Amino acid sequence: MMTRNFLNTICFIFLFLLAPGRFAFAQTVYVRGKVVDASDKQPVIGASVVLIDKDKRTVRGVSTDIEGNYSLPVSDKSLRLVVSYLGYETTQPITVGDRTTLNIQLKSSTKMMEEVVIRSNVKAETGTGMEIARRDMTSAISTINAKDIEDMQVASIDQALQGRLPGMDVAASSGDPGAPMQIRIRGTASINGAVDPLIVVDGMPYDLSIPSDFNFATSDENNYAQLLSIAPADIKDISVLKDAASQAVWGSRAANGVIVINTKRGAIGPPAISYNFKGSFSKQPGPVPMLNGDQYSSLILEEYYNAGRQFSSSEYAKEFQYDPNDPYNYFNYSNNTDWLNAITRTGLMNDHNFSIAGGGEKAKYRASAGYYNEVGTVRGTELSRITSRINLDYNVSNKIRFSSDISYTHSDNNSLYTSAVRNVAYNKMPNQSVYEYDIYGNPTGNYFSPIATAQGTYPGTYNPLAMAEAAGRRDIGERVIPKFALTYDILPKLLVLRSAFQADINNTKLKGFLPQIASGRPFIESSVNAADDLDGNWFTMNSNVSLGFTPNLNEKHNVISFLQFQSYDSKYTGQRLSVTNTASSYLSDPTIDGRTNFGGSAGSSFTQSRSLGLLFSTQYKYLDRYIINGLVRADGNSKFGPNHRYGVFPSVSGRWRVSGEPFMKALRKVDDLSFRASIGVVGNAPRYDYTFYNTYNNYGFSYLGTSGVYSSNMEISDLRWEKVTSTNMGIDLAMYKNKLRMTGEVYRRRTSDMFYPGLRIPGYNGYSGIDMNVGVMDNQGWEFQIDATPISKKKLRWDVNFNVSHNENLIREISRLYPRENNGKVTSNNVFKVFVQENNPFGSFYGFKYKGVYTDKNSTIALDKNGDPIIGLNGEQVYMRFAYPSINYTFQAGDAMYEDMNHDGNIDYKDIVYLGNGNPKLTGGFGSQVTYKGALRLGVYFTFRTGYDIINGTKVTTTNMSGYTNQSTAVLRRWRAEGDVTDMPRALYGTGYNWLGSDRYIEDGSFVRLKTVTASYDFSKSFSRRLGMKSLRMNVMAENLLTFTRYTGQDPEVPIKLTAFSTVQDYSTTPPIKKVTFGLTANF
């Protein structure tokens, strides 16, 4: 409805503008003539001849015929004639007056337009369309230009941003193609709500978030992500808005930061055609070395023996007996299979981008198309994508301009059926064969997927290769984003109206199939031939209208202000169908009836959310030195009930350019020295829709023929806006003709009225959780960035840059209903304790101190504080115990030894100490680039994170020696006999306390990574011209070549998902892969 109003407004504007021209004169006179080439006097065919009015608005136009003739009706003598044609200079406007014949000679244009080169952006981009010079910005914004990411070979630009901008932490969730990146700007503002930053493309929000009730069927949220599907070649610049003063423009969805992306547009000139190719090979870094089949089998026997169990009588003993008289088991279970190797391959990527750009005075265009394909390093993973984008700008007249953009993306992503495949491959028993042997020992070529093995059954374990290749998920996405924008200078250089409307049509299909051969289960179970299909359709409309006012006062005063109205309306419809036990492993579509498509196998959902924003912003500059900016924003959001639907959020920021002061004049070297300060509030809306209604839903089945209805949620009438108040202080320094630029920021983001979904309430209410505003949380830290160009000669240019930031996350105040510690008992293996304490950062974990292994019985004697043996009541020797009296286990030789903090001879919860924290102290990146003769460029870029601790989850699972899980080769040094001195406890099947949460698994995750090494060469003009090109560039890039770290796990770059009780655990998902890319860019 809002959009309809808005469209009506636009129609009105058109009517008013077009009306006068139409009705002014009734009498018509014609002007005729011939257009010829000025040099050879040959007719120019197809030249455009137009009549324009005083505002340069085209009134009428024709093309010349085959003889170069034209004829145009003239309604007004004041109209002027303009002739233009490609390759010729456009004529100056000629007033028609009383003339009826006008012959024109066109001069061929001598200067050919060069390719559009994007220079570093001097205007800061907040995405509002109001242009404020970068040097006048009052808030914290970081920008990266196309040049900097040009050489990066990435599928999605978020990958290119890794480590490039201070205050922005980007981490890969996995190295598989299509895996989402986790972006955090200045930490996480919400304890458990929406945490992803808002992305704004060409002034309009670009939704990457997944609607609250998006049903993942059997997939999980981490597996699914909307990629930022904009071809990196189309991007002009990217800015990150970090403080409230800049985010306020985007309102409620900006509370987690804003990333503003602008795409390239056409420029005046003949068509510039460009082709860009990238191709790469990629390889996974080596995994943690694991046991082979023999080592594994003997370990299992030892585990059983140590646990006092008899192995030979167990159901699965034959899998370890290597008995040649039982050929089926002998052949299938006497192997040395490297499961990880079996599911890994060399990755391949190729990316083609083609673009054409150009334009004249009236119209400018840029069109591009791209194809991207990546074959992942894990079998069964692949991403292919087609992108296309057209950006058109048209000047209707001096006063009216419009632009029409459309982008289309098709993506097809094949991913693993479950994200655990790699983990299962790590754990899989290595003596099992990949392919099945028959009872005579002949290989059958089929995947060996037994119903059960000693390790268990699906979903705990399975044949990883069968799971990777035969089962899978396919995610097919279509996204079309048309955008229309209009600018009208109501009063030139004083009052301007900008309006834009964008629709976003985003359709996704997720298909999953789990064939029998992958799970190995019998046909009566639902894990056999399970097919699901999910369609998710989003339709989003955004509009914004702004009125900019830039009064021209005098030299001393400068005012820029605008009033903006924004609307957002997003609908999501989802349909889901799933069946199991389809008749064949080739019937993978749920539209075919399966055996068990009863209750709950089909579903659909619909949600809609809307928001409105009205903001007024004014920036005032006095003497180019004192700048103050104020902004007030009113928000309305459909996710709140009538009581709390609207919120008003102000912000104010200022800048003092010290370098502009007279007393600084002496310091010639300083180009700019400014201090900035800002404070502002942004409101954040909850993730879920309709929570303020008490809603009744249907059960998926009927009871005795009547369908049942139940009250599905409580009415949440008290949910208020979550407020993020940011304070930011910044300093900018530019020296030596901008060759040295530094920016520093200190900030605090305070989240108050923090959302917490599902806060525990007494179960006797009939519901277990409720959404509430529960407390106050701070994110505070600092950032520093330095860019320098130490050498800037014609022949040689050297750039260096460095950025570093620090963020910490503190709970200041929290509801009583919020749990203070995580679930789980420290007396269970692999449990770390996490507490929520006011004024303490998140992510700290607690556990035991590991001291090694009891070498013999004597070493298990309990000692008191002075190191003397503790004597029992009856004067007997006391041995170390675990969790007396509840568990009361006496430690044996070969068991893990934990530090007895209170020297009471008993290891229990009283011996727990602080072990580490998962928050990085510093994150950032640095790099250097050398350009020789403007043609050869060499660059390196490093990223780093320091001072954070990782729980090495892979180490926990691969050294616990407590089950059938395959172990790493580190367990070969395990304790075996009395007197062995080692740090690896004995093998103990299904019992013991050898792998309690302790500092044994905590490792320093600090790393410095050589992220990229790039080299590029621009071929000389003469060379490329010989090839029929305007220019030609080649480049090579190597990624993730080296990582300097003390971390012993696979890779220290682990996504940090900080909720109150999360710890940073590394379970060795596909690590960032080593990759070499070759690229070629040709311009025609």
Partner 1 sequence: MKKIFINLCFLALLLSLSSCNKWLDLKPRDGIIKDEFWKTKEDVQAAVSGMYSSMLASPPGVGGRALTEYMFMWGEIRADMVDQGPGYLTEEKDIMDVNIVESNSIVKWDAFYRTINYCNTILDFAPGAKALDPTFSTKELNAYMAEALTIRSMMYFYLVRSFKDVPLKLTSTSKDTEIKNIGKARDSVVLAQIVTDLNTAEKWAVDDYGSNALNKGRITKFAVNALQADVYLWMEKYDDCINRCVKIIESERYTFLNPTAAWYTNVFYNGSSNETIFELNYKSANISNPFYDMLRGPKRRFITTGYVASEVFAPDEDDPARTFDVRSDFFGSSDLIIYKHAQEYPAFLNWQMYRLSDIYLMLAEAENYSGSPSLALTFVEDVREARNAVDATAATIGPVDADANSVGEYILAERSREFAFEGKRWYDILRFAKRDNYSSQYEGILRGMVLRAVAPSFQQAALNKYKDVNSHYFPIHQDELFADPTLTQNPFYSK
| Beta carbon of residue 881, minimum distance to partner 1 (angstroms, whole number) | 17
| Beta carbon of residue 787, minimum distance to partner 1 (angstroms, whole number) | 43
Binding segment toward partner 1, per CB under 8 A, in 4-12, 115-123, 671-679, 1038-1046:
4-12
| Beta carbon of residue 167, minimum distance to partner 1 (angstroms, whole number) | 33
CA distance 158 to 226: 12
Strand 922-932 with 204-206, pairing: unpaired
Residue 1 binds partner 1 (CB under 8 A): yes
Residue 610 binds partner 1 (CB under 8 A): yes
| Beta carbon of residue 730, minimum distance to partner 1 (angstroms, whole number) | 35
CA distance 275 to 368: 10
User: Which residues in 423-452 contact partner 1 (CB under 8 A)?
Assistant: 452
Comparison of 440 and 764: residue with beta carbon closer to partner 1: 764
For residue 425, which phi and psi values (nearest 5 degrees)? -60, -40
Structure-token pair, residue 678: 């800002």
Q: Give the CA-trace dihedral at 672, 674, 680, 686, to 10 degrees.
A: 50
Sign of the torsion formed by the C-alpha atoms of 127, 132, 133 and 135? negative
Alpha carbon separation from 609 to 255, 636, 638, 639, 691 (Å, rounded): 17, 11, 6, 7, 12
Residue 23 binds partner 1 (CB under 8 A): no
User: Which residues in 477-506 contact partner 1 (CB under 8 A)?
Assistant: 490-491, 497
Residue 715 binds partner 1 (CB under 8 A): yes
Comparison of 87 and 766: residue with beta carbon closer to partner 1: 766
Name the residue among 13, 2, 349 with its Cα closest to residue 159: 349
Q: Which amino acid is at 984?
A: M
| Beta carbon of residue 960, minimum distance to partner 1 (angstroms, whole number) | 17
Of 100, 108, 584, 702, the one binding partner 1 by CB under 8 A? 702
Name the residue among 64, 233, 77 with its Cα closest to residue 155: 233
Residue 53 binds partner 1 (CB under 8 A): no
Residue 877 binds partner 1 (CB under 8 A): no
User: Which residues in 453-472 contact partner 1 (CB under 8 A)?
Assistant: 457
Comparison of 145 and 596: residue with beta carbon closer to partner 1: 596
Of 704, 793, 981, 1022, the one binding partner 1 by CB under 8 A? 704
User: Which residues in 586-605 contact partner 1 (CB under 8 A)?
Assistant: 596, 598-600, 604-605
Sign of the torsion formed by the C-alpha atoms of 432, 435, 436 and 441? negative
Binding segment toward partner 1, per CB under 8 A, in 2-10, 149-157, 200-208, 474-482:
2-10
Of 394, 484, 693, 798, the one binding partner 1 by CB under 8 A? 693
| Beta carbon of residue 975, minimum distance to partner 1 (angstroms, whole number) | 27
Comparison of 270 and 600: residue with beta carbon closer to partner 1: 600
| Beta carbon of residue 1083, minimum distance to partner 1 (angstroms, whole number) | 44
- 12: Cβ contacts below 8 Å, ≥ 6 apart: none
- 734: Cβ contacts below 8 Å, ≥ 6 apart: 670, 671, 672, 673, 740, 741, 742
Residue 12 binds partner 1 (CB under 8 A): yes
Of 34, 135, 645, 797, the one binding partner 1 by CB under 8 A? 645
Of 396, 421, 612, 834, the one binding partner 1 by CB under 8 A? 612
Residue 711 binds partner 1 (CB under 8 A): yes
The beta strand positions in 793-935, using DSSP E, are: 796-813, 844-847, 850-853, 881-882, 889-890, 896-898, 906-907, 913-917, 922-932
Of 39, 298, 444, 712, the one binding partner 1 by CB under 8 A? 712
Structure-token pair, residue 279: 């191709």
Go through 883-914 and write b for each residue having 16 or more CB atoms within 10 A of its CB, e for each that does not: beeeeebebbbbbbbbebeeebbbbbeebbee
Residue 341 binds partner 1 (CB under 8 A): no
Comparison of 458 and 948: residue with beta carbon closer to partner 1: 458
Binding segment toward partner 1, per CB under 8 A, in 349-357, 655-663, 691-699, 1068-1076:
691-699
CA distance 646 to 613: 10
Comparison of 354 and 767: residue with beta carbon closer to partner 1: 767
Of 776, 817, 831, 1013, the one binding partner 1 by CB under 8 A? 817
- Draw the binding track, 528-567, toward partner 1 (x: CB under 8 A; -: no contact): -------------------x-----------------x--
Binding segment toward partner 1, per CB under 8 A, in 1-9, 82-90, 114-122, 135-143:
1-9
| Beta carbon of residue 474, minimum distance to partner 1 (angstroms, whole number) | 26
Of 295, 717, 727, 1062, the one binding partner 1 by CB under 8 A? 717
Binding segment toward partner 1, per CB under 8 A, in 347-355, 705-713, 1048-1056, 1068-1076:
705-713
Name the residue among 668, 695, 678, 814 with its Cα closest to residue 749: 678
Residue 643 binds partner 1 (CB under 8 A): no
Comparison of 762 and 867: residue with beta carbon closer to partner 1: 762
| Beta carbon of residue 552, minimum distance to partner 1 (angstroms, whole number) | 18
* Interface with partner 1: number of residues (CB under 8 A): 78
**139 in Cβ contact with 629 (< 8 Å):** yes
| Beta carbon of residue 294, minimum distance to partner 1 (angstroms, whole number) | 29
Go through 160-171 and write b for each residue having 16 or more CB atoms within 10 A of its CB, e for each that does not: bbbbbbbbbbbb
Binding segment toward partner 1, per CB under 8 A, in 121-129, 326-334, 709-717, 745-753:
709-717
SS3 call for 561: strand
**343 in Cβ contact with 308 (< 8 Å):** no
| Beta carbon of residue 701, minimum distance to partner 1 (angstroms, whole number) | 4
Comparison of 172 and 716: residue with beta carbon closer to partner 1: 716
Structure-token pair, residue 486: 């209009």
Burial degree of 701 (CB within 10 A; 0-12, 13-18, 19+): exposed
Structure-token pair, residue 543: 């509009």
Comparison of 875 and 885: residue with beta carbon closer to partner 1: 885
Residue 642 binds partner 1 (CB under 8 A): yes
Of 44, 155, 299, 714, the one binding partner 1 by CB under 8 A? 714
- 643: Cβ contacts below 8 Å, ≥ 6 apart: 717, 718
**338 in Cβ contact with 320 (< 8 Å):** no
Residue 367 binds partner 1 (CB under 8 A): no
Go through 722-741 and write b for each residue having 16 or more CB atoms within 10 A of its CB, e for each that does not: bbbbbbbbbebbbbeeebbb
User: Which residues in 757-816 contact partner 1 (CB under 8 A)?
Assistant: 760-768, 770, 772
Comparison of 596 and 780: residue with beta carbon closer to partner 1: 596
Residue with tokens 């005098």: 554
Comparison of 575 and 969: residue with beta carbon closer to partner 1: 575
Structure-token pair, residue 874: 């009856």
Q: Before 1052, cis peptide (omega within 30)? A: no
Residue 890 binds partner 1 (CB under 8 A): no
Comparison of 567 and 1006: residue with beta carbon closer to partner 1: 567
- Output DSSP code: residue 869: B
Bridge partners (DSSP) listed for residue 996:
829
Bridge partners (DSSP) listed for residue 181:
172
Comparison of 227 and 834: residue with beta carbon closer to partner 1: 834
CA distance 543 to 566: 6
CA angle 504-506-508, nearest 5°?
175
- 252: Cβ contacts below 8 Å, ≥ 6 apart: 611, 613, 635, 637, 647, 682, 683, 684, 685, 721
Residue 6 binds partner 1 (CB under 8 A): yes
**903 in Cβ contact with 868 (< 8 Å):** no
Comparison of 720 and 1030: residue with beta carbon closer to partner 1: 720
Comparison of 71 and 702: residue with beta carbon closer to partner 1: 702
**781 in Cβ contact with 747 (< 8 Å):** yes
